[in-house]
Amino acid sequence: MGSMSGFWTIFWAKLSEFLPNLLVGFEVTLIVAAGSFVIAMSLGLLLAIARQSQNRWASVPAGIYIEFIRGTPALTQLFIIYFGLAQLGFSLPGLVAAIAGLGLNGAAYVAEIFRAGLQAVPDGQRQAAISLGLTPYQTFRHIRIPQAVKLMMPAFCNYAIQLLKDTSLASVVAAPEVMFRARALVMETYLSMQIYVLVGLMYLSISIPLSILAGRLQRRTVKMAGAAA
Amino acid sequence: MPILSVRGLQKSFGNFNVVRDVSFEVERGQKVAIIGPSGSGKTTVLRCINFLERPNGGVIEIDGERFGVRMTGGSERFESDASLAKKRADIGFVFQRFNLFSHLTALDNVALAPRLVRKMPREQALEIGRRMLARVGLSGKENNYPDALSGGQQQRVAIARVLAMQPKLILFDEPTSALDPELVGEVLAVMRDLANEGMTMLVVTHEIRFAAEVADRIIFMDGGQIVADGPPRQVLYDQPTDRMKQFLRSLSSDNAPTAGAPS
Ligand SMILES: Nc1ncnc2c1ncn2[C@@H]1O[C@H](COP(=O)(O)OP(=O)(O)OP(=O)(O)O)[C@@H](O)[C@H]1O
Ligand SMILES: [Mg+2]
């Protein structure tokens, strides 16, 4: 009991020291999340298009990629990019490896979200657009994508939450994100409980709003689908 | 020259021949109805005409221009998507299930293609959209989304959407068969107006009375082939085949043609 309260005394005394340090780390966390999100979204869209293509040279490799990513742990993929590439003479900084790794990983999941969303748009609308003289690209851009994106929004929010948490993997390749800094602080101070709880709260400050947003979008989507039926 | 010429059209799915050697023509301003039992290939013929479905054989000509195939250096090639799209823009297609764009208002549904395909400025496209909605009796519904419209209203928006492209020919695939009975009349009324204004129309329908009254010709299809093609009176009453009599009996009685309907 005595030592616990002692820890808290030290914690409060040092909070002003920890907090800026951890916040700098959390900024890096957000950069990793944002960077990999952008990669995952763009590559994921391309993968989804390739996957549904009539051309086997596009659809088969895309399928293999998606299966490989979804069938192996993100940590393994990250190690391949960081340690594996280094062995071949391409050493990437931890931060770059983390963004690339999580982006390449997320692309497979995003591709599946896009595929499901595009499939949910009734094919009759594609046919109507084509019959009016829209090109396949215009149909994709003006009819299918806008509706698919609306349907996909809740899934993208959930993916963003998952990604935010997965950025902690970056700590094992020495990207100076919040978990990496927290571990260093704990080694210095032995205040594991206090520091990790504080870090947990930082993650929650982003994930809870995202989760509420996902819930709202979900209800809206259900309403949309109900009205269409 | 006919506005539409179909010669030796064939289409199969797998090794099932759905359309076998179908030929007919539609002259400018003509209204032609296609009737026939379920599965006889009516929808497939319509979908082949604007290449929503690629025929396996035969020739489709719109205004004398070959559709879907290009001659390059003496050999036939499939037409490119862009070139197909340009030709489809001149042929309206009204679907059984309306197929409105559910993320767009009625007005945007109608104005989209003029803007994207005809490259019209936004304001001008919206102006045309409003005019076309008025033409199908839907002024005041411009800002409704499809799910806030009845089936009959949705189908009228779909017709307005087609009209906004000023098509040379409109193909209708059972435009009223997905509608509640009380909503059928409003759509048929719009189609009657179009017919009276001289629009060229090819209509697949089970509304025999409508076909008998409005069409210049009725085509009866069975088993992927045309078994009769002529003026309504002739096809329906003067020399009906046994198959035709059976088909007419299969239609619900309230929809059956009145004896001696005008042709
Ligand atoms: N994409 C497809 N793949 C496989 N078979 C098809 C396809 N489209 C149509 N068919 C088959 O072709 C046959 C003719 O279909 P089609 O829709 O042209 O008939 P229809 O005369 O329009 O019938 P209905 O009056 O029921 O609309 C049917 O047996 C149908 O099952
Ligand atoms: Mg049909």
Q: Is the dihedral of CA B14, B19, B20, B24 positive or negative?
A: negative
By the CB < 8 Å criterion, does A128 face chain B?
A: yes
Query: Which tens digit of pLDDT belongs to each residue from B30-57?
Result: 999 999 999 999 999 999 999 999 999 9
pLDDT at position B219: 96
Residue B110 domain flag: yes
Residue B258 has pLDDT above 90, yes or no: no
Q: How far is CA B48 from the centre of its chain?
A: 12
Residue B98 has pLDDT above 60, yes or no: yes
Residue A130, both tokens: 């084509």
Mean pLDDT of the region A185-202: 90
Q: If pLDDT is split at 50, 70 and 90, which confidence band does A140 have?
A: very high
Residue B260 has pLDDT above 60, yes or no: no
The angle that helices A178-189 and A192-228 make with each other, rounded to 10 degrees, is: 160
ipTM of the complex: 0.91
Rounded to two decimals, what is the model's pTM? Answer: 0.82
Residue B134 domain flag: yes
CB contact under 8 A, A132 and B82: no
Tally of domains in chain B: 1
Q: What's the gap in Å between the CA of B240 and the closest CA on chain A?
A: 35
Note whether B165 and B113 are within 8 A (CB): yes
Q: How far is CA B33 from the centre of its chain?
A: 9
Q: Which atom of ligand 1 is nearest to the CA of B45?
A: 18
Which stretch of DSSP H or E encloses residue B77? strand B75-78
CB contact under 8 A, A131 and B86: no
Instruction: Enumerate domains of chain A plus CATH numbers.
Output: 2-228 (1.10.3720.10)
Residue B94 domain flag: no
Task: Please indicate whether residue B257 or residue B174 has the higher confidence score (pLDDT).
Answer: B174
Residue B108 domain flag: yes
Helix (H, G, I), strand (E, B) or coil at B172: strand
Mean pLDDT of the region B10-15: 94
pLDDT at position A229: 38
Closest CA to B48 of B18, B80, B83, B71: B18
CA distance B233 to B258: 11
Residue B214 domain flag: no
pLDDT at position A228: 45
Question: Among A101-110, B70-79, B165-174, B186-195, which is the least confidently predicted range?
Answer: B70-79
pLDDT at position A122: 95
CA distance A109 to A37: 11
Which stretch of DSSP H or E encloses residue B177? none
pLDDT at position A18: 85
CA distance A171 to A202: 16
Query: Which tens digit of pLDDT belongs to each residue from B126-139?
Result: 999 999 999 999 99
Structural domain including B118 reads 100-166
- In angstroms and rounded to an integer, the radius of gyration of the C-alpha atoms of chain B is 19
Contacts of A142 (CB under 8 A, 6+ apart): A129, A134, B112, B116
Helix (H, G, I), strand (E, B) or coil at B221: strand
Residue B71 has pLDDT above 80, yes or no: no
CA of A148 to the centre of ligand 2 (A): 28
Q: If pLDDT is split at 50, 70 and 90, which confidence band does B253 have?
A: low
Note whether B96 and B124 are within 8 A (CB): no
Residue B48, both tokens: 């082949």
CA of B43 to the centre of ligand 2 (A): 4
Angle at B237 between CA B235 and CA B238, to 5 degrees: 80
CA distance A110 to A48: 8
Residue A224 has pLDDT above 80, yes or no: no
Residue B152 domain flag: yes
Mean pLDDT of the region B23-32: 97
Note whether A32 and A97 are within 8 A (CB): no
Residue B126 domain flag: yes
Residue A131, both tokens: 């019959």
Please state the φ and ψ torsions of residue B35, each to the nearest 5 degrees. Answer: -125, 165
CB contact under 8 A, B165 and A133: yes
**Cα–Cα distances in angstroms (integers) from residue A113 to residues A106, A228, B53, B222, B251, in the given order:** 11, 21, 29, 44, 45
Q: If pLDDT is split at 50, 70 and 90, which confidence band does A83 have?
A: very high
The angle that helices A2-51 and A145-166 make with each other, rounded to 10 degrees, is: 150
Note whether A158 and A214 are within 8 A (CB): yes
Q: If pLDDT is split at 50, 70 and 90, which confidence band does A227 have?
A: very low
Q: Which residue has a Cα nearest atom 6 of ligand 1?
A: B13
Residue type (1 letter), A123: D
Percent of chain B with pLDDT over 70: 95
CA distance A13 to A137: 61
pLDDT at position A223: 62
Residue B1 domain flag: no
Helix (H, G, I), strand (E, B) or coil at B220: strand
* Average pLDDT of the residues of chain B: 91
By most ligand atoms within 8 Å of CB, the mutation choice from B11, B34, B35, B42 for ligand 1 is B42
pLDDT at position B69: 80
Note whether B221 and B245 are within 8 A (CB): no
Name the DSSP class of A135.
Answer: -
Which stretch of DSSP H or E encloses residue A82? none
Task: Lay out the sheet containing B16-26: strands in order across.
Answer: B16-26, B4-13, B57-62, B65-66
